[in-house]
Every structure is written in C-alpha cells, then in structure tokens.
Structure 1
Amino acid sequence: MRIQRFLAEAGLGSRRACEDLVRQGRVMIGAEVAALGATVDPRRDKVTVDGERVRLPRVRIYLAMYKPRGVITTARDQRGRPTVYELLPKLPVRVNPVGRLDFNSEGLLLFTNDGLLAHALTHPSGAVEREYQVKIQGVVPEWAIEKVKRGVRLEDGLARATVCARVESGRVKTNTWLRVVVAEGRYREVRRMFGVLGFNVLKLKRVRFGPVLLGRMKPGEVRELVVAEVKALCECVGGQEGRGDGQ
C-alpha cells in the first residue's frame, strides 16, 4: 500500500492532503523519512506523523448528526463557540465530519473514520447531491429561481443548483421556502448564490447527503448509519472507497 493511501485510510485527510504531509517530511516509516509513493505494510511497518504513531482503524464508524444552528463544524473554536464534537458520543476512535455546515446552518452532517470514502464523497468529481430546505427573506421571483438553476457567477467560479423549486405553504407568503439541490460542497455555496442575486437566506437546513436522509432526527441527535446506508454511500462514489468493516 502506498504511504499516501495508508494515511488517507487512517483518516488524516484527503489523498492530496496526505501527499502534502509526505512532501513536508513529516511522515516516517520506521526510522526513515517517507518519500511520496513509498510502500508500507500496515501489519509490520511503524508509521508516524510528527512523531505520533498512525494506525489503520480496526473498526469503521459511520454516523449521522442533526447539527443544530449555532454549532461550529470543527474540533476547537478560538472564540469558545460550541462544536459538533461536543455532541458526539464517546467513541473508540476519532471520526471526522464529511464536509461542513456553517455556524448558522443546520441539518444532516455525516462523520466517519473512513478517510477514502470521506474524500470521495466531498471531491467535486463525485458530484454527490446535497439537498436543502431554504427560507429566503421576501418573495423570490421566477427569474431568480431560473438563474440559480442556470448558474450564478461566484468568486470561485460558476455555481448552480440541479434543483431549485418552491415549497408551497398555506401561510401568508412574506418569505419564500425553496427546495435546493446542489452537487458540490463549496463553502456557503447556497447562501452565496442567493446573496449575489440580492436575497438574504434566513434559514438553511440540509435534509439529504447523497442517499442518506435526515428524516425525523432532532437537533443534536446522533445515530449510526445502517449497513444499507453505508453501502449506498459507497455505491454513489463508485463502490470502491468505503469498506464498512465495522457495520
């Protein structure tokens, strides 16, 4: 197994991030500094990063969380805000979030220690769908909905929704509820698309990530993914990244 794959499977980040660790000389195989592309035997070789031993996880963990608003998707926050890790149960190994939800957004957030699957799910080439319920201040006209579907120019390139549709309600329409589906995980993508068009997002809730649904989960709730969900996640990115050993 190549060293960068070993590090990715150990949950240290994407393949590219792991390659950077090797290039920076922070990875050792035994007593030697690892070279990019070096092979490692996980059963025999001692691998360290910054002096700390790295092992492949014996158990694969796959979790779903309903991230509440006002919680940050990071392990620590310099401003003392609550983090998603404070909501996780005690686990035998560290898990990492699959992508992010910003501080003021809520909904489905996946966690795993399966580094390769996490990378495949978040890489743009995977085109894994994320579905959101979005509340927009004021009435959103049809031209804006069509523009979001055709594409909105952001500072990091063109962004578009594969689906942008009204969610009708019987209430007085002082605001607009939309169902929005995107196939990328760019930073604050949905908020920025509507912001460019002059609209303010009041509420954003992710209700689906790929084949996994938020369902009836409540804010702060964490559950383990069932085998069928893990299998469906693997299949939506080619079926080769995740293994589901611990399911």
Structure 2
Amino acid sequence: MERLQKVIAHAGIASRRKAEELILEGRVTVNGKVVKELGIKVTGSDRIEVSGIPLEREEPVYFLFYKPRGVISSVKDEKGRKVVTDYFEQIKQRIYPVGRLDFDTSGALLLTNDGEFANLLMHPSSEVEKVYVAKVKGIPVKEKLRSLEKGVHLEDGKTAPARVKLLSLDKKKQTSIIELAIHEGRNRQVRRMFEAIGHPVLKLKRERYGTLTLHGLNSGDFKELTPHEVKQLRTLAMGKK
C-alpha cells in the first residue's frame, strides 16, 4: 500500500505537495468516497479520481541494472552528478531504484515504478539474499572470516549471520578477494562489516540480487525482468512473513 498523495504525484497529476492540497480541498475520491486525510493509503485496485477525472496508473515495470561505479543511486542529484535514471531516458515510466548502492560500488540494482514491490524487498524482514564480491586490504585469518559469518557488532547493532568465502589472495600486494552474502540492507553495511574486522574495502561489486545475476550485462546495461523473475523475488522477500 502507498500513501494517496504519493500515488497521485507518481501518476504525474501534480507534485506531492500539490497533491496534498488537492486532498485537503476534498477534490480526491477513493472508490467513490471523498478523502480529506493525508495519511490514507491505497492499493493498486482502488479507484482514484482527482477533480472527477479517473487516475490512470502506469503499468508496473521492473528492471535489473548493472550500476557502474561513480553513479548515484537516485533519480536526481543536487550536485549534478550522474544518476541511475540517466541510463533509462528511453523508458517512459517514472522509475526509481529499490534501495541503493554506494557511489563507489558497482553491480546489481533494481529499478521499478511499483512501490508495493519496492517496499516488500526493502522491508527489514526480507529474505532476499544479496551477494557481494569485495577486494579488501590485507589477508584475513579464518577467525575473522568466521566472525563475519556469525555477525559483527556495528554502531547500529549486530549484523545477521552471513555466508563468506575467500576467493583469492595476493600475498605480494597484500589484498584479498572475498564473497559475502547477506540479506540485510543497512547503509554501507558491507564496507562497515569489513572495516569492523580490520580489512577495509578497496573495491566492491554486488554480483547477485536474489535469483538475479549480472550474466550477459556490461556496466551501464539493464534488462527488463520477466514475470517469473518478479514472482521469484516476491516469494523470496515474503520468506518469513
């Protein structure tokens, strides 16, 4: 479910602030009833009219994007930096990223115009696993890798159990390549986890999101998800609900 003013704004009728004014003025109906409360939430099946005109909602679309490093996970940036939606200029729907990848992190990122789907995936109880490959400074001993598996203490609490695999190491350069699989999505979590064990990240890429991989995509490419892929993600996200 999404807030009514957000749905109106997303349909391109008005800005969210203007949509709030329309609601307060009694010019919006939901299923034939006038709504004057800003907190109300609606579903995709609700009939919404603004000033007597039915609201036409966009068809939901879902994309997997191979985000390059140096791109902002947003629809706009006040500093004029490149954002992920710059790669989707030919897409007419008003899409936005599901969660985010840091400016200096590359890899799998989902974009959609389906707010319910996005909220489901970003919910703290979501069971969607994300797999990262990190190049870190130094060569961690087994005990440190085990601590990542059990969970490490960060300033916002202990992390959930993770899967960890040492892929390769370079004794000369004193660096390691490590695969880390988590289902949480805290801010800069992977980087903070490696910092907590004393091995800061030098380079980071998200290789997999749920059942989706970057296979066949180059940096900056995207593909539309199939209905089956969308259903798989929904099922994974609802694992413990």
- TM-score, length-scaled by structure 1: 0.78
Is 1:46 the counterpart of 2:50 in the alignment? yes
Distance 2:121 2:151 in 1: 22
Distance 1:95 1:198 in 2: 38
Q: Deviations over 1:197-220 (max 9, x none)?
A: 221101111011112112231100
Q: Contact between 2:85 and 2:95, CA under 8 Å: does it hold in 1?
A: no
Partner of 2:90: 90
Is 1:30 the counterpart of 2:33 in the alignment? no
Could you tell me which runs of 5 or more consecutive residues in structure 1 were left unpaired when the two chains were aligned. 13-20, 48-52, 240-247
**Structure-2 change in CA distance of 1:118 and 1:7 (3 Å):** farther
Offset, 1:184: 0.7
Could you tell me which runs of 5 or more consecutive residues in structure 2 were left unpaired when the two chains were aligned. 11-15, 29-34
Is 1:179 the counterpart of 2:179 in the alignment? yes
Distance 1:54 1:186 in 2: 39
Distance 1:115 1:215 in 2: 26
The one-letter amino acid of 1:150's match is K
The one-letter amino acid of 1:235's match is T
Distance 2:212 2:68 in 1: 18
Q: Contact between 1:207 and 1:215, CA under 8 Å: does it hold in 2?
A: no
Q: Contact between 1:135 and 1:201, CA under 8 Å: does it hold in 2?
A: yes
Partner of 1:69: 69
Instruction: Output the aligned Cα RMSD.
Output: 3.2
- 3-state SS of paired residue (2:88): coil
Percent identical: 32
Offset, 1:57: 2.8
Instruction: Trace 1:112-127 onto structure 2 (pairs within 5 A).
Output: 112-127=112-127
Partner of 1:135: 135
**Structure-2 change in CA distance of 1:54 and 1:166 (3 Å):** farther
The more displaced of 38-47 and 97-106 is 38-47
Offset, 1:183: 0.9
Partner of 1:16: none
Q: Deviations over 1:161-197 (max 9, x none)?
A: 5201111379967311111011111110000111122
The one-letter amino acid of 1:205's match is K
**Structure-2 change in CA distance of 1:68 and 1:124 (3 Å):** same
Distance 1:101 1:109 in 2: 7
Q: Contact between 1:167 and 1:179, CA under 8 Å: does it hold in 2?
A: yes
**Structure-2 change in CA distance of 1:102 and 1:86 (3 Å):** same
The one-letter amino acid of 2:167's match is V
Offset, 1:109: 0.5
The one-letter amino acid of 1:78's match is E
Q: Deviations over 1:83-140 (max 9, x none)?
A: 1111114222201101100000000000011110110001111132111111111211
Aligned length: 223
